Amino acid sequence: MARVLVAMSGGVDSSVAAALLVEQGYDVVGATMKLTCHGDELPDRPCCSLDSVNDARRVCDQLGVPHYVLNLEQSFGRDVVDDFVREYARGRTPIPCVRCNTFTKFRDLVARADAIDAPLVATGHYARVIDGRLHRGADAKKDQSYFLWGLRRAVLDRLLLPVGGLSKPETRQRAESLGIGLVAGKAESQDICFVPDGDHVRVVAARLAPGDPALQPGPLLLSSGRQVGSHEGFARYTVGQRRGLPGGFPEPMFVVDIDPATRAIVIGPRHELMGRLIVAGEANWLADLPTPGTRVLAQIRHRGEATPATVIEVDGDRIELAFAEPASAITPGQSVVLYDGDQVLGGGVIDRVPASRRALPVAAA
Amino acid sequence: MPEPIYLDHSATTPVRPEVLGAMLPFFGPRFGNPSSTHRWGREARVALDEARERLARALGATADEVCFTSGGTEADNLAVLGAWRALRDGRPAVVSTPIEHKAVLAAVERVEAEGGIARLVDVDAQARVDPAAFAAALGDDSALGSVMWVNNEVGVIQDIAALGAAAREHGALFHTDGVQALGKVAIDVRALPVDYLSVSGHKVGAPKGIGALFIRRGAPIMPLMHGGSQDRGRRPGTENVAMAVGFARAVELAVAEREAECARLEALRDHLEQALLARIPDAVVHGRGAPRAAHVLNISVPGTDSESMLMALDLQGVACSAGSACQSGSIDPSHVLSAMRVPHELAVASIRMSLGAMSTEAHVARVAELFPALIAKARRLSGLSTR
């Protein structure tokens, strides 16, 4: 049976993935990626800690398969952490998990698979590969396809996602029945692995020069241009954020735009968050390139809903699309993922749309 | 899968049957505490004293100069910190090298953290420490010089006689980490200017968890731990009688077999090295230009990486190592190779093969075929890689 390299975090999903593949007769090799230094971590984290490496090793021991720790600290730092900091410094809100999948897991890990003659790779993601196409996971609540749009298409031909057809409770149940109960009750990982306490500003500040504009005070403006206060650095804010904004307005106020050039944060009532036009870069396609006018479903946040949109233009790795109904808090740095039903067509990283263009009416969707 | 091949004897070795046999009574009927006055205690005490004496004899020391420890790390810590803390008032400095085991390097860092002075003497490209440079670094303010006898990663042997003499000339005491030297080079502390010598059991067929520090009679030592008066107060805590007995037996065997075994291992190692260099002409063997212990072969092939090679070798049943494994089990680039100024491309590709009791001609022949094939494949892939 074919050899498969399974990326194992030590959590229940990837452990069950490995166990299912062993059960199906694959020649399984487990690997845990070491992405950050294990020196100064918090205890009891569900993934990416020393304890989780040990859990993955124990699971592999119980399954009777080899396990390795892959030191990907350097490339993860370069491709994911540095980018994360750069994005905040540009006034955007990055999703490091997307880049970790695109580069660390599905490029670097795949290269290690080649090195050990493994034609297949597997992860514990809740998504499915059907006939070489990427689809949402069967459990809508757990679906992680939103994070996977950056995969190279060729990887789909060698990718196994064994828990993609299960629900989370089913996965936990399988952990028990497959004899790896030690991970069955582990908590979900929610945080970004290198921001364990959720304080992204601390991580960003530690890596930026002390005088970086992203951490300098700047004006808080209304969309009319009137200044209503000041802030302590735009890297602390994200579009759609309400926390930390001054009160005294008739309606709740939200961050509606961040302009790194002037360090200005524009705030406004909820209706100013609404937009229909999306421009995205770094586009990647897991299906044939869509043509202008193609109707798709577009999703702009992990737990968001995919809603109807029309492709306006595709130009190299740039894509423009328009939602049929206005969407709330289209956030630069987040991903827009295009679906046809449950199938992932592709995606891109949302760019800031200049205010002048945002005001323009969008061609009928 | 074909028979697995263990080429990682520098990491650890299996317990020898003779050693296990010598220890077993002390897990059973002879379980006494050596400090007790009754017959069980006496029995244990006699066994412990005898083990200490036998170990001392194997090293050329006297029994009172042997302090049993939990292993090499404790022995290194006890030597560096124990000597420095005893002498720090007049002599605040400790001199060592960047190629030491972490057990010495971290103890030297601790010296600095406690207000002392740490100086590391550079090594040359073959990992050799120049005695003149070592002498210069010692100056007249050093309590201790510490240089590892046989390097664990590349196998290079230091001129311990010259380095120890340099330390004495400067009024400093001298420690050598002899963990990898034990059973591989002739050790006679009577004939050497060495005040402290660390040794470890599990590198020579005794279990993990036992080691010893030779402390020359009269050399100062401050204990690391505080408790009872065991081992003259140098190392409190009920002695590990069984393992001390096993360790003494293992060292006696290793010393007795040393010449014949090292000749055997050297022939195997040289055969493997020549075969690999013939098949991979641009491979680099680290420390090849210096005197090397017979059992170590540390080789780098440009265009490959240690981590992938170790996986590929392990999946073929061949156990090697690289750099120093960190807590998680991943590989960090070797501090020894960087101190030798090995270019990055080679440092990240290094594979250490260490031969020992389990090694046979058939193993060497198989690795001589397999390794070049895996290298060729890794290079094809790295040529294709976009990185």
User: With contacts defined as CB-CB under 8 Å, which chain A residues touch B314?
Assistant: 66, 68
Instruction: Please tell me which residue of chain B has the smallest CA distance to A3.
Output: B315
Predicted confidence at residue B331, as pLDDT, reads: 66
Asked whether the beta carbons of residue B378 and residue A115 sit closer than 8 angstroms, the reply is yes
CA distances (Å), B67 to each of B81, B101, B150, B216, B230, in order? 15, 20, 21, 10, 10
B-chain residues within 8 Å CB-CB of A32?
328
Instruction: Provide mean pLDDT across the span B3-22.
Output: 97
Which residues lie closer than 8 Å to A202 by C-beta, 6 or more apart? A195
B158 membership: H or E segment, kind and range: none
Residue A96: how many other CB atoms lie within 10 Å: 21
Please give, one letter per residue, the 3-state secondary structure of chain A: CCEEEEECCCCHHHHHHHHHHHHCCCEEEEEEEECCCCCCCCCCCCCCCHHHHHHHHHHHHHHCCCEEEEECHHHHHHHHHHHHHHHHHCCCCCCHHHHHHHHHHHHHHHHHHHHCCCCEEECCCCEEEECCEEEECCCCCCCCHHHHCCCCHHHHCCEECCCCCCCHHHHHHHHHHCCCHHHCCCCCCCCCCCCCCCCHHHHHHHHCCCCCHHHCCEEEEECCCCEEEEECCHHHCCCCCCCCCCCCCCCCEEEEEEECCCCEEEEEEHHHHEEEEEEEEEEEECCCCCCCCCEEEEECCCCCCCEEEEEEEEECCEEEEEEEEEEECCCCCCEEEEEECCEEEEEEEECCCCHHHHCCCCCCC
pLDDT score for B333 = 76
Q: What is the pLDDT of residues A74-126, one digit of tens each?
A: 889 999 999 999 999 999 999 999 999 999 999 998 999 999 999 999 999 99
- What is the 8-class DSSP label of residue B206? S
Tens digit of each residue's pLDDT, chain A (365 residues): 899 999 999 999 999 999 999 999 999 999 999 887 655 444 445 455 778 889 999 999 999 999 999 988 888 999 999 999 999 999 999 999 999 999 999 999 899 999 999 999 999 999 999 999 999 999 999 999 999 999 999 999 999 999 999 999 999 999 999 888 888 888 777 678 888 788 888 989 999 998 899 999 999 999 999 999 999 999 999 999 998 888 889 999 999 999 999 999 999 999 999 999 999 999 999 999 999 999 999 999 998 999 999 999 999 899 999 999 999 999 999 999 999 999 999 999 999 887 666 665 555 44
Average pLDDT over all residues of chain B: 95
Do residues B240 and B209 lie in contact, with contact meaning Cβ atoms separated by under 8 Å? yes
The pLDDT tens digits for B193-229 are 999 999 999 999 999 999 999 999 999 999 999 999 8
Q: How far apart are CA A284 and CA A151, in angstroms?
A: 8
Ramachandran angles phi, psi of A288, nearest 5°: -65, 150
Sheet of A218-222, strands arranged across: A227-231, A218-222, A264-269, A253-259
Pick A66's closest partner by Cβ from B314, B332, B381. Answer: B314
What burial letters (b/e) apply to A285-321, b meaning 16+ CB within 10 Å? bbbeebeeebebbbbbbeeeebeebbbbebeeeebbb
Kindly state the DSSP code that residue B61 receives in the 8-state scheme.
-
User: What is the rounded distance in angstroms from the CA atom of residue A228 to the CA atom of residue A256?
Assistant: 14
Here the tokens at position A244 are 């930390």
Across residues B77-105, what is the average pLDDT?
97
> Per this entry, what is the length of chain A?
365
**CA angle (A84, A87, A89) in 5-degree steps:** 110
Q: Which of A38, A68, A114 minimises the CB distance to B327?
A: A38
The answer to whether A70 contacts B307, with C-beta atoms less than 8 Å apart, is yes
Q: Do B329 and A57 touch (CB under 8 A)?
A: yes
- Residue B321 three-state SS: strand
Structure tokens at A359: 């005001």
* Token pair of B16 as six digits: 């020898």
A102 at B interface, C-beta within 8 A: no
Nearest to A34 among B328, B385, B387 (CB): B328
Amino acid at A52: S
A57 touches chain B (CB under 8 A): yes
**Is the predicted pLDDT of residue B279 greater than 70, yes or no?**
yes
Residue with tokens 């006496």: B42
Q: How far apart are CA A359 and CA A141, in angstroms?
A: 35
Q: Which residue of B has its CA nearest to A68?
A: B311
CB contact under 8 A, A38 and B326: yes
Distance in angstroms (rounded) separating the CA atoms of residues B129 and B119:
13
DSSP for B16-37, please give it. PHHHHHHHHHHHTT----TT-S
CA dist A268 and A252 (Å) reads 8
Nearest in space to A69 (alpha carbons), one of A46, A90, A50: A50
A94 and A88 in contact (C-beta within 8 Å)? yes
The stretch B325-343 carries a mean pLDDT of 80
Residues B79, B198 contacting (CB under 8 angstroms): yes
Whether A352 and chain B come into contact, CB under 8 Å, resolves to no
Give the 3-state secondary structure of residue B352: strand
Per cent of chain B over pLDDT 90 is: 93
SS3 B135: helix
Candidates A5, A116, A121, A193: best to mutate against B (most CBs of B within 10 A) is A116
Residues B350, B333: Cα–Cα separation, whole Å = 9
Q: List the single best residue of A9, A47, A68 to mutate versus B (max B Cβ within 10 A).
A: A68
Q: Taking CB atoms and an 8 Å cutoff, what residues of chain B touch A71? A: 307, 330-332
Task: Name the closest residue on chain A to residue B329, using Cα atoms.
Answer: A69
Interface contact A38-B331, CB threshold 8 A: no
Instruction: Say if A111 is an interface residue toward chain B (CB within 8 Å).
Output: yes
**Complex-level ipTM:** 0.86
**Strand-pair partners of A231:** A218
Cβ separation A69–B312 shorter than 8 A: no
Asked whether the beta carbons of residue B312 and residue A53 sit closer than 8 angstroms, the reply is: no
Nearest CA in chain B to A112: B308
Is the Cβ pair A71, B331 closer than 8 Å? yes
Q: How far is CA A304 from its chain centroid?
A: 13
Instruction: Compute the nearest-CA separation of B323 from chain A (Å).
Output: 12
Question: Tokens at residue A58, please?
Answer: 């124990």
**Token couple for A161:** 């996602």
Q: B314 vs A69: CB contact, 8 Å cut-off?
A: no
Confidence (pTM): 0.89
Query: Active-site residue numbers of B?
Result: 326
Which residue type occupies B350?
S
Backbone φ, ψ for residue B8 (5° rounding):
-135, 40
Confidence of residue B313 (pLDDT cuts 50, 70, 90): very high
Compare CB distances from A112 to B308, B327, B328 and report the shortest one's residue: B308
Tell me if chain B has a CB within 8 Å of the CB of A324. no
CA–CA gap between residue A123 and residue A152 (Å, rounded): 15
Per-residue pLDDT at B386 exceeds 60: no
What tokens appear for A65 in the block?
A: 């398969």
Give dist(CA A42, CA A48) in Å, integer.
10
pLDDT at B294: 97
Whether A50 and A41 have beta carbons less than 8 Å apart is answered as yes
- The answer, for A38 touching chain B at a CB cutoff of 8 Å, is yes
B319 reaches A (C-beta below 8 A): no
> Looking at the predicted structure, is the pLDDT value of residue B327 above 70?
no
CB A135 within 8 A of CB A344: yes
The dihedral through the CA atoms of B355, B360, B365, B370 has a sign that is: negative
As a whole number of angstroms, the distance between CA A270 and CA A37 comes to 41
Question: Using the beta-carbon criterion (under 8 Å), do A116 and B311 form an inter-chain contact?
Answer: yes
A35 near B CB under 8 A: no
Say whether pLDDT at B323 is over 80. Answer: no
Q: Summarize pLDDT for B142-190 with one digit per residue, the tens.
A: 999 999 999 999 999 999 999 999 999 999 999 999 999 999 999 999 9
Is B314 in Cβ contact with A34 (below 8 Å)?
A: no
Residue in A57, A75, A115 nearest the CB of B381: A115
* Predicted pLDDT at A28: 98
pLDDT of residue A43: 46
Neighboring chain A residues of B324 at a CB cutoff of 8 Å: none
Chain B within 8 Å of A115 (Cβ-Cβ)?
A: yes
At B327 the three-state DSSP class reads: coil
- Token pair for residue A100? 């970790």
- Which member of A47, A48, A60, A100 is catalytic? A100
Residue B81 parent element (H or E): helix B72-87
Contacts of A66 in chain B (CB under 8 A): 314-315
Nearest-by-CA chain A residue for B312: A116
Chain A contact probe: residue of B102, B313, B315, B321 with most A CBs at under 10 A = B315
CB contact burial A117-148 (16+ within 10 A = b; e otherwise): bbebbbbbbbbbbeeebbbbbbbeebbbbbbb
Residue type, A32: T
Q: The tokens of B174 are what?
A: 């001298």
More confidently predicted of A364 and B122: B122
With CA atoms as reference, the chain A residue closest to B328 would be A50
Residue A258 to residue A215: CA distance in whole angstroms: 13
Query: Does the annotation mark A60 as catalytic?
Result: no
